[in-house]
Structure 1
Amino acid sequence: MDRRYIFLFMIYRLIPFLAAALPVLLAAASSHASESGRKIDIAGPVTAEVIRVIDGDTILVAAKPWPQQTMEVYVRLRGIDAPELKSACSATRDAGRQAREALNSLTVGQGPIQLTHISGDKYFGRVVADMHLSDGRNPAQEMLSAGYVTPYDGGGKPKTCSNGW
């Protein structure tokens, strides 16, 4: 028998199987696509060590999500917004430095921290989370109470120098 005929015969025999498998494959693909657009939250807690404070609302941590595994990740503290360190406004830059120093003072020497309510951020490679120090304090709330930061819900931010910073 000619090779072309053998190949066509094999394809002909596979058609019923392919026709039966196609709906299953399409359903699986659409299910995966809908899951990829869904926001995923991790309740935590995830234990971490603060590596350094980036600014008044972001830290770099060494997180330990499971035994014998450590990963470095930038964490935006949920619910607050600090003045920008790279602002065109000198008062905002000064306030940003004060906020960074205040967060640094809260976290230095605190030992392990706990991250909870962890979710993805709008910037790749960073997460948003609630953070609790080893003594139970929430640095975001401490920063808000002291006036270093403002409440933030993920919306737009004012870009003026007249907001007190």
Structure 2
Amino acid sequence: MFRTGQFLILVLTALFPAVQASASESGQRLEIAGPVSAQIIRVIDGDTLLVAARPWPQQTMEVYVRLRGIDAPELKSSCASTRDAGKQAREALADLTRDQTEIQLSHISGDKYFGRVLADISFGDGRNPAQEMLLAGYVVPYEGGRKAMGCASSVW
């Protein structure tokens, strides 16, 4: 059974075969340039949103989107300080997105675990919530790979 993220990539790949061919020929991960319009349904945590994306006319799909380039503290961490920082990050992202009726997803690809997509997000006024979260200190830069684990290694 397909997950929403897998389905989105499959459908977009079928609609845009040039993207599929160029990605497979180069051996790179598939990426859809976008933009894809979406509405925020809810904030999941400090680096993930659930959105209603509209990749083509009269079609809407719900998909979890991780904000590219950042990592937020985990809400389910074994460390109380990390959990608290995660709650603050989630609230900060909720505040940033509260009045945003329309967002744009771009540079869309499968996430590391492919239960969601990874994308750059921009508001109608051009602001990037990932950059704002970074500047405010709620998240750290992240480009994939392993994360530090345990309370002693926590940056929060």
> Is 1:98 equivalent to 2:85 in the alignment?
no
Q: How many corresponding residue pairs?
A: 133
Query: Per the alignment, in what secondary structure is the counterpart of residue 64 of structure 1?
Result: strand
CA shift, 1:124, in A, is 2.9
Q: What's the TM-score once normalised by structure 1's chain length?
A: 0.76
Q: Are the counterparts in 1 of residues 112 and 144 from structure 2 also a CA contact under 8 Å? A: no
Alignment RMSD (CA, Å): 1.8
Query: Per the alignment, in what secondary structure is the counterpart of residue 93 of structure 2?
Result: helix
AA at the equivalent of 1:69: Q
What's 2:70 paired with?
80
Q: Which structure is higher in helix share?
A: 1
Alignment of 1:56-135 (within 5 A): 56-135=46-125
Of 55-64 and 35-44, more deviation after overlay is shown by: 35-44
Please, which runs of 5 or more residues in structure 1 have no aligned partner? 1-31
Please, which runs of 5 or more residues in structure 2 have no aligned partner? 1-20
Query: Per the alignment, in what secondary structure is the counterpart of residue 143 of structure 1?
Result: helix
What's 1:47 paired with?
37
AA at the equivalent of 2:51: V
> Is 1:153 equivalent to 2:130 in the alignment?
no
Q: What's the TM-score once normalised by structure 2's chain length?
A: 0.80
* Cα-to-partner distance string for 1:97-124 (whole Å, 9 max, x where unaligned): 0000000001112110000110011223
Cα distance in 2 for partners of 1:133, 1:149 equals 19
CA shift, 1:125, in A, is 3.3
More contact order relative to length (CA 8 Å, sep ≥ 6): 2
